[in-house]
Amino acid sequence: MVRFFFSIAILSLLCGCAPNLVGARWENNASPTPPKDTPFDSFVFLIDGDTINASEGLRVAYAKMLEGALPANENCRLNVKTKGTVEENFASWWYLGVLVFLPLWPAMPRETDMELFMEAGLFCEGQLIQQITLTEEEHPRLFWYGPYRNSEIQASADMMHIKLMKRLRSAIQQDVPVDTGMASDF
């Protein structure tokens, strides 16, 4: 019986992972019919100083959102660089008595701060036409730890991508500067 509860505690610990900012969720939802032409020359993520290629599903999701947004009569391409950061704040009185209150362990509040900072350059026929800078942030404050917390934090990370897709499309179509971090821009 003790082994059973110990196994559950270990599995709960392993289920509380950081969100995947480079698009694992989008792999499962990738359309079987991607756009005929991807608008990207480069689509790069920087996570903790490491350069990581975005998943194909995430690239397809961005490409589908941008279909029809780029000028049709010119040969236009996008260079996109996104920097992602995730900070987890463990500073809580709950952590002082972890060993004493081990049965309450899954109920430890945790604060997570996530940010995606995107720089996109729109190049038409080799000339920089528009420089776009966007920032999206999410700050989930969750009480439970484990699979529920992990899925909610991943949902917040996915929502940041959806907002960035819509704001990038809006900025390209309107050809006006978009205020950094404004959710009302799309």
Percent of the chain with pLDDT over 90: 14
Question: What mean pLDDT is predicted for residues 42-67?
Answer: 84
User: Into how many domains does the chain fold?
Assistant: 1
Highest average pLDDT, of 16-20, 32-36, 39-43, 161-165, comes from: 161-165
Nearest to 18 by CA among 145, 108, 103, 136: 145
* pLDDT at res. 167: 92
- Cα–Cα distance list, 102 to 1, 2, 68, 94 (Å): 16, 13, 55, 10
Sign of CA dihedral 59, 164, 155, 152: positive
Other Cβ atoms within 10 Å of 169 Cβ, number? 18
Query: Which residues lie below 8 Å from residue 123, measured CB to CB, with a gap of 6+?
Result: 41, 76, 77, 78, 79, 129
Q: Is the pLDDT of residue 17 over 60?
A: no
Pairing of strands 76-89, 40-47: parallel
* pLDDT at res. 92: 55
Give pairs for 145-152: CB < 8 Å, separation 24+: 145/12, 145/16, 145/105, 145/106, 145/107, 145/108, 145/110, 146/12, 146/15, 146/16, 146/106, 147/12, 147/15, 147/16, 149/16, 149/110, 150/15, 150/16, 150/17, 150/19
Q: Is the pLDDT of residue 52 over 80?
A: yes
Could you tell me the pLDDT band of residue 57, with boundaries at 50, 70 and 90?
confident
172-54-142-109 Cα dihedral, nearest 10 degrees: -130
Q: Which residue has the higher pLDDT, 130 or 11?
A: 130
Could you tell me the pLDDT band of residue 112, with boundaries at 50, 70 and 90?
confident
User: By residue range, what is the domain housing residue 101?
Assistant: 2-185
Summarize pLDDT for 126-146 with one digit per residue, the tens. Answer: 899 889 999 999 988 877 767
Mean predicted lDDT score pLDDT of the chain: 75
Range with the lowest mean pLDDT among 31-45, 47-61, 92-106, 168-182? 92-106
Summarize pLDDT for 147-181 with one digit per residue, the tens. Answer: 777 888 888 888 999 999 999 999 888 755 555 54
